[in-house]
Structure 1
Amino acid sequence: MEDVDPVRDIGMPDRFTPYTFFLTVVLSLTWILAAIPAMVPAYVAPPASGGVNSSRIGDFYTVIDEFELSATTAEWTTMAYFLGSLLVGQIPCALSDKIGRKPVAFYSALFTGISGVIAALAPNYWIFLIGRFLQGAFFTATTNVNWVMVCESVPLSRHGRASIVFGVMWCTGYCIIAPIAILFPTWRQLFLVTSIPTIIYAFVMQYSVRESLSFLVIRRRRDEVEAWIQTAEKYGGVKVTHSFEGGCLDTLLDDRMDESPSRRSTYSGSSTSSEQQRSMKELTMEAFKDKKTLVYLLISIYMWITDFLVYNGLSLTSTGIKIGNPHWNYVMSGLVELPAAFVLPLLMDTIGRRATVILSHAETALALLALGFIPLENEILYMIVWLAAKFGTASSFIALYIYGSEIFHIKYRNICLGICCTLGNLGAMAAPYTAHLGVSSQTAVYSIYAALSLVSSGLDIFLPETMHLHSHRPIGVTQSPPIEA
């Protein structure tokens, strides 16, 4: 099969230009702002864990302190967020296919910030939870839509490098919570300081970037494509190889649609397309009837739920480890993800997607099992193995985003990935409960995590290898030719 790359087809060079790199950086900033509300419960409502059963991290004043919450009630700080993502998160993403990526990205960032302010000013815990629910409702959009905008505005060969930028931004947002919490040691201050910049960012993004190039091409918005290209030429020092005089854009699209079925399916922006006329329900039912797709989907759902659970379970309890400084423990649990962001693409391109996913889950399982046999008194060894487990689950998480976009037929890809992402929130919602179990037996919690990760490693054997689809270009290309179902 041939590659389908609207960015290259329209005449953009096969590299980062100053303008496309600028887009990548600006749009990736949202991952800093998205990581903060997702991970902030580690400070504002830290789960009870095996090391500590306390609602306070140093001098930080938590929602548990202010509203005198029980451990069970406090867990809703995390659950409300992921419940919002579970119930509402896919709506703005689906809307971006109709009205465009940019308006959805703008309003998602804006309402995420406003929801954080609502939570910060909440007079009681229940209003606070409403703010958390609304933050979670826009989590999927603030992460996925901005990533899609970059993928649709830079060549396929640069998606892997773009994913590294986004990964670094996530780690930055993850780690920056600790110094902010030290400088602003109350939960209300923390929410205000981290929410107001998100509102400002929404307007900065609105006025500094254009709509996704591929979206404009596919929708045949000739004038907007011309404006996009002119901006890239003006600020990026590039010369596009195609002219748009005299309706050449439509001619280009028609020529591309005539070349192959894969291009016809990609470039067909007409409302008369039979695929577009089919409802989401019809495509979902068709995917469920295809045995191969259904098997891949069920396995993927299990792995997404497991990785959400283990990742959040380790992240949110990092401040409660009874070793060392809780702030440094939290920062280290974020910094250990940086090697994963850089090493994983190389590993997947070297030994294959499936082997990498198997190894990352197996490494996570082995590290978690080992923790059960290391006494807390052996602080250095315990922390090394704990960080190895965090590295493993972070690697597994990154791998699922890359691998998951390749194993489904292009007809069902958005539907299947949407189902996986949505149901993965169930694992995140369960994380506080497993952390609470750790008060009585941390070994039991780590053993549960290890068993679930080990099953993921075994199930991945039944998924296809997809490296051959990208054998001539770097990893991370999410708009790849589909595997025939």
Structure 2
Amino acid sequence: MSGSSPTESSPDGVDLRLPLLQPDCAASTKKVERLCIDDMLQKHCGEFGRWQLRHFVLTSMAWALEAFHTMVVIFADREPAWRCSVGSADGCSAGVQSVCQLEPGSWEWVGGAGSSTVAEFGLICGQKYKIGLVQALFFAGCMIGAGVFGHLSDSRLGRKGSLLVVCILNAIFGFITALSPNYWTYAVLRILTGFSTGGVGLCAFVLATEPVGPTKRGVAGMSTFYFFSGGIAILSGIAYIFRTWRALYIASSIPSVLFLIIVLPFVSESPRWCLIRGKMGRAMKTMCEIAKMNGKNLPAGVILALDLETNESKTEQESKEAVTGSLLDVLRSPVTRIRLFLAVAINFLCSIVYYGLSLNVVNLGTNLYLNVFLNAVAEMPAFLITAVLLDRFGRKPLSIGTQWFSGAFCIVGALLNGYGIWKTVRMVCGILGIFGMAGTYNLLFIYTIELFPTVIRNAALGCATQAAQMGAILAPFIVVFGGGIPFLVFGVSGIVGGMLAFYLPETLHRPLYDTMAGMEEGERFALMS
């Protein structure tokens, strides 16, 4: 419906099509102007003012909750130090390197059986694989949860409603996990926690970035990673205070409850979701609040409309082409088929390295709490550097360079024996490996989006995300090997990922295509020029 069509009026002469607005956004007799959300933000409300900053920070705090529930296993599932039992010197040699070589009863865990799940459930020697299994099951739950809550956040629950549900489930499953009587109950509860955790970052990312204007959205989206790394750093402090695994699960779940009570009530639902669900009045109310807090003026008579409704020159056939596409279309085109294979492979390899290095700190023999904190802190400058250099050097060189940087230091770490001073050097190699791969993660999301046209972008991005989850599932099993093997695997993965990135096209200053035909024509033109 265009702005020139006849209006419906009440007996008092009020235009019934206009939403109920705040006093400062009241309707007037001016001609109605229909704008999409991006245009309204740019022209009248502000792209990233005080309202968006406040909303972004509050919403992105949920990423710290995801970090708590994801990385808590580093401390809860660690293998504690052990010592010879009193009066058992004959059966406990100081020269042995593993308790598997000792007689039962001749040794004991430092801190007692309740210090970790490994000590309490006996996850050593032949049962050590169960550590990697439970961590892999968590990431499998994340993969399922991301799909389920991704759908619910687009449909009936909305972004804020889905975030509310996943935080409630996270708190419940986290508290119950602390009561696990045996390993298999613990494993099932970690799957359920992964299911809810998989929706936290997804819902928080969309909810935080959708009210941001188009020219600021990329930087805002990349900044969400700071909250995840900050959550890991805070978790190391929580784990240092709560030394038993049951107390740690309770302590790391309390922030989810605090977020629900203190933060979430002050978070607004996405106006984009309200608009597509037909909640025009609610969407306009949010836009008025944005304009008011940003010190802007939303003129009377300006209302929201969907993108297609604001483009009256677009034909019905063009509209259909703009919204049609599937994964089959990705696979049919030689251009997008190759890009999809490369994007899936790179996301898979990067995830192995990132999560593998994060979990591998338990094998380094250094101060676990300090090591986790330093890894988290090392990620933050990587995010900043990537954001600064992204538009200067391009996506492709940065993708190659960050992966090779990470891979090179992982290879060096694999060559060290892990004793004496070399133990500290290996820890530094791990920190630098995290630094490089965090930079890759920061740009890979944007790079993947730019490689595919609008009609198939979500399908391609979904495949890449699923591949990253598969890499996260595999990473814990690699960590279980210990020694230099994990570093070797991570190093090779980083090097191979960088080599694959050589075959991707550069997307800097290239148009963001909407259709398959437009992208293929653009690629032909680029090859000819």
Secondary structure (helix, strand or coil) at the match of 2:288 reads: helix
| 367, 373, 378: which one aligns with 2:409 | 367
1:119 paired with 2:177, answer yes
Distance in 1, Cα, partners of 2:285 & 2:391: 36
- The code of the aligned residue for 1:68 comes to G
CA contact (8 A) 1:319 1:329 kept: no
| SS of equivalent residue, structure 2 residue 250 | helix
- The separation in 1 between residues aligned to 2:133 and 2:468, in whole angstroms, is 17
Compared CA separation, residues 405 and 12, structure 1 to 2 (3 A): farther
Check 1:399–1:58 CA distance in 2 against 1; reply closer, same or farther (3 A cut).
farther
Q: How does 1:30-49 map to 2 (within 5 A)?
A: 30-46=62-78
Show the 5 A alignment for 1:116-265: 116-163=174-221, 165-241=223-299, 243-244=301-302, 248-250=303-305, 256-258=310-312
Give the whole-Å Cα distance in 2 for the aligned partners of 1:97 and 1:274.
22
Letter paired with 1:66: E
Deviation of 1:205 after TM superposition, in Å, equals: 4.8
1:284-337 deviation per Cα after TM superposition (whole angstroms, max 9, x unaligned): 2222222222211111111111111111111112133124x2211111111100
Separation (CA, whole Å) in 2 of partners of 1:481 and 1:57: 60
Determine the structure 1 residue equivalent to 2:439.
Answer: 395
Q: Which has the higher contact order (CA 8 A, sep 6+)?
A: 1
Structure with the higher fraction of residues in helix conformation: 1
Gaps spanning 5+ residues in structure 2: where?
Answer: 1-34, 81-96, 100-107, 521-529
Contact 2:142–2:194 (CA under 8 A) maintained in structure 1: yes
* One-letter amino acid matched to 1:24: F
Once residues 510 and 209 of structure 2 are traced to their aligned partners in structure 1, the CA distance between those partners, rounded to angstroms, is 17
> Which digits, 9 at most, give the CA deviation of each residue in 1:332-364, with x for residues without a partner?
111100111111111111100111101111111
1:438 aligned onto 2:482: yes
Does the CA-based 8 Å contact 1:77-1:132 persist in structure 2? yes
Quote the offset at 1:254 in angstroms. Answer: 6.1
Give how far 1:122 is off. 2.1
- 2:134 is matched with which residue: 65, 74, 77? 77
Deviations along 1:217-246, one digit per CA (max 9) or x if unpaired, are: 3445320122102322444433225634xx
Would you say the 8 A contact 1:313–1:435 is kept in 2? yes
Aligned counterpart for 1:307 among listed residues 321, 334, 350: 350
Call closer, same or farther: CA 1:189–1:8 in 2, change over 3 Å. Answer: farther
Amino acid at match of 1:63: T
Is residue 513 of structure 2 the alignment partner of residue 484 of structure 1? no
**Higher CA-based Rg:** 2
8 Å Cα contact 1:31-1:173 kept in structure 2: yes
Q: Which residue is equivalent to 2:53?
A: 21
| Segment of structure 1 superposing worse, 428-437 or 9-18 | 9-18
Alpha-carbon separation, structure 1, partners of 2:332 and 2:276: 29
2:47–2:214 CA contact under 8 A, matched in 1: no
- Give % identity: 23
- What's the counterpart of residue 286 of structure 1? 329
Three-state SS of the structure 1 residue aligned to 2:143 is helix
User: What letter corresponds to residue 336 of structure 2 in structure 1?
Assistant: T
**Contact 1:354 1:461 survives alignment (8 Å):** yes
For the aligned residue pairs, the C-alpha RMSD in angstroms reads 3.0
- Aligned-partner Cα distance in 2 for 1:385–1:464: 30
Q: Give the whole-Å Cα distance in 2 for the aligned partners of 1:102 and 1:67.
A: 38
2:339 to 296, 303, 309: 296
Residue of structure 2 in register with 1:457 after alignment = 498
Structure 2 residue matching 1:27: 3-state secondary structure: helix
> What is the CA–CA distance in structure 2 between the aligned matches of 1:121 and 1:381, rounded to whole Å?
39
| 1:171 shift after superposition | 1.1
Aligned to 1:64: 118
Show the counterpart of 1:317. 360
The answer on whether the counterparts of 2:364 and 2:426 sit within 8 Å (CA) in structure 1 is no
Q: Are the equivalent residues in 1 in contact too, given 2:407–2:495 (CA < 8 A)?
A: yes
Change (3 A) 1:458 1:228: same
Distance 2:110 2:492 in 1: 30
Q: Is the 8 A contact 1:17 1:236 kept in 2?
A: yes
Call closer, same or farther: CA 1:133–1:242 in 2, change over 3 Å: farther
Q: How far, CA to CA, are the matches of 2:218 and 2:134 in structure 1? A: 34
* Amino acid aligned to 1:354: K
- Alignment coverage as a number of residue pairs: 451
Separation in structure 1 between the aligned mates of residue 430 and residue 111 of structure 2, nearest angstrom: 22
Q: Does 2:463 align with 1:408?
A: no
What corresponds to 2:94 in structure 1? none
What is the distance in 1 between the residues matched to 2:204 and 2:130? Answer: 33
1:429-458 residue CA offsets vs partner (Å, 9 max, x unmatched): 22122112224xx1x332222222211111
Alpha-carbon deviations, 1:88-129, whole Å to 9, x = none?
421210222222222112212221222212212222222222
Alpha-carbon distance between aligned partners in 2 of 1:353 and 1:260, rounded to the nearest angstrom? 33
Offset, 1:151: 2.0
Mark the runs of 5 or more structure 1 residues left unpaired by the alignment: 266-272, 471-478
Question: 2 CA distance for matches of 1:107 and 1:343?
Answer: 35
CA contact (8 A) 2:67 2:232 kept: yes
TM-score, normalised relative to structure 1: 0.84
For 1:411 and 1:448, the matched residues in 2 are separated by: 36
The residue number in structure 1 matching 2:489 is 448
What is the rounded CA distance, in whole Å, between the counterparts of 1:33 and 1:40 in structure 2?
Answer: 11
CA distance in 2, matches of 1:213, 1:57: 54
Return the offset for 1:26: 0.8
Q: Please give the alpha-carbon distance, in whole angstroms, between the structure 2 residues aligned to 1:220 and 1:72.
A: 51
Structure 1 distance, partners of 2:98, 2:490, is 20
The match for 1:270 is none
Q: TM-score, normalised by structure 2?
A: 0.78
The 3 A distance-change label for structure 1 pair 359 and 259 is farther
Q: Structure 1 residues 350, 392: CA separation in 2 closer, same or farther (over 3 Å shift)?
A: same
Distance 1:259 1:347, change over 3 A: farther
Give the counterpart letter for 2:449 in structure 1.
S
- Work out the CA distance in 2 between the residues paired with 1:381 and 1:5: 54
Q: Offset of 1:214 from its aligned partner?
A: 2.6
Question: Residue in 1 aligned with 2:37?
Answer: 6
